[in-house]
Amino acid sequence: MGAGLGSHLFETPLAQLSAGVAVALCLAAAIWGRWPERAGALANALNCLATALLQDRRPGHHAQPGIFAADAMMLLVLVLIAMRCRRTWVLWAAACTLLMNFTDLALFLDVRIHMWSFLSAAYVWAFGGVLAIAAGIAIEGRRPVLQLQRARAF
């Protein structure tokens, strides 16, 4: 006993690395990014924290509904950013997040998927999204944000 709520958070080196990358991404977005990059980096950091908090580590438990919900919220945030501005990195980050959602869904649908396969795919798609946000900060961070214009009906 003695272990409090969240004592399992970031206990593996890979989880610690991903948390460190999320914090570094938020700092880089705060320094060099505009609002789309800041919003994307903040959503990514919150998704990292939510994923760590909501994972179900009970023995024999396969599906991860909490992680699926956190990834779905991340996708929603990226879609909202994409609907508000013209930034290419958002499309790449949303694509990686959508693939992550499909990976989560596959874990629901097929119990034969090994957890190591799920975790490997999860880290690939998560770091793909991180790379997209980092590229957005580096390439488009200081460019003016072009708002999408709504079409007016006459």
pLDDT, tens digit, for every residue of 81-128? 999 998 899 999 999 999 999 999 998 888 888 888 888 898 899 989
* 76 within 8 A of 139, measured Cβ to Cβ: no
* Domains in the chain: boundaries: 36-56+65-140
CA–CA dist 35, 81 (Å, integer): 9
Tell me which residue of 44, 42, 55 sits closest to 5, measured CA to CA: 55
How far apart CA 107 and CA 102 sit, in angstroms, is 9
Q: For 72-92, what is each residue's pLDDT tens digit?
A: 999 999 999 999 998 899 999
Distance CA(130)–CA(93), nearest Å, equals: 7
Q: Is residue 124 a contact partner of residue 16, using CB atoms and an 8 Å limit?
A: no
pLDDT at position 92, please?
A: 96
pLDDT of residue 20: 86
pLDDT: which is higher, 39 or 19: 39
CB 148 within 8 A of CB 84: yes
Helix (H, G, I), strand (E, B) or coil at 147: strand
Quick: pLDDT tens for 125-153: 998 999 999 999 999 887 777 766 665 55
If we measure between CA atoms, which residue out of 46, 50, 39 comes closest to residue 104? 50
Model pTM score = 0.83
How would residue 2 be classed by pLDDT, with cut points 50, 70 and 90?
A: very low
pLDDT for 1:
35
Distance between CA atoms of 42 and 33, rounded to whole angstroms? 12
